[in-house]
Chain A
Amino acid sequence: MLALGLLWSRLWKQDFRDYLPFLCAGMVPWVLVSTVVTEGCFAFTSYESIIKSMRFSFTVLTCAVVWRNLIVFFHNLLVFVVIAVICRVPVNQNTLLVVPGLLLFFVNAVWVTALLGLICTRFRDVAPLLASMLQIALFVTPIFWAPAQLGLELATFVKLNLIYHFVDAIRSPLLGRAPGMISYEAILLATVAGWAITLALFSRFERRIAYWL
Chain B
Amino acid sequence: MRTVSVELTGVTVDFAIYGSQRSFRSEFKQAAGGIIRRDGRRHRTVSVRALDGIDLRLEHGDRLALVGRNGSGKSTLLKVLAGVYAPTAGRVAVTGRVSPLFNIFPGMDPDDTGYENIVTCGMLLGMSRAEIMRKTPDIAVFSELGEFLSVPVRTYSAGMTVRLGFAIATAIDPEILLLDEGLGAGDARFADQAKARVDGLIARASVLVLASHSEELIRSLCNKAILMQSGKILRFGPVDEIMAAYHQLSETEPAPEPAALALAAG
A68 within 8 A of B: no
Binary CB contact string for chain A from 36 to 54 against chain B (1 if under 8 A, 0 otherwise): 0000000000000111111
CA distance A101 to B167 in the complex (A): 46
CA distance A123 to B16 in the complex (A): 14
Nearest Cβ in chain B — how far from A41, in angstroms?
A: 12
B198 within 8 A of A: no
Nearest Cβ in chain B — how far from A58, in angstroms?
A: 12
Contact A55 B103 (CB under 8 A): no
The 8 Å CB contact of B85, one of A49, A50, A129, A211, is: A211
Most buried by B among A49, A52, A55: A55
Could you tell me which A residues sit within 8 Å of B by CB distance?
49-55, 119, 122-126, 129, 207-208, 210-212
**Given A50-B106, A50-B107, A207-B86, A55 and B98 contact (CB-CB distance below 8 Å):** yes
Which of chain B's residues have a CB closer than 8 A to the CB of A126? 24
Which of chain B's residues have a CB closer than 8 A to the CB of A54? 82-84, 100, 106, 124
* B interface residues, how many (CB within 8 angstroms): 21
Which of chain A's residues have a CB closer than 8 A to the CB of B82? 53-55
Which of chain A's residues have a CB closer than 8 A to the CB of B23? 123-125
Contact B100 A53 (CB under 8 A): yes
CA distance A126 to B25 in the complex (A): 9
The 8 Å CB contact of B22, one of A52, A123, A207, A208, is: A123
Contact B103 A53 (CB under 8 A): yes
Which of chain B's residues have a CB closer than 8 A to the CB of A50? 106-107, 124
Which of chain B's residues have a CB closer than 8 A to the CB of A51? 84
CA distance A119 to B22 in the complex (A): 11
B215 within 8 A of A: no
Most buried by A among B84, B100, B124: B84
Nearest Cβ in chain B — how far from A46, in angstroms?
A: 13
Nearest Cβ in chain A — how far from B189, in angstroms?
A: 28
CA distance A122 to B24 in the complex (A): 8
Binary CB contact string for chain B from 30 to 71 against chain A (1 if under 8 A, 0 otherwise): 000000000000000000000000000000000000000000
B15 within 8 A of A: yes
Contact A210 B24 (CB under 8 A): no
CA distance A119 to B106 in the complex (A): 24
Which of chain A's residues have a CB closer than 8 A to the CB of B98? 55
The 8 Å CB contact of B106, one of A49, A125, A210, is: A49
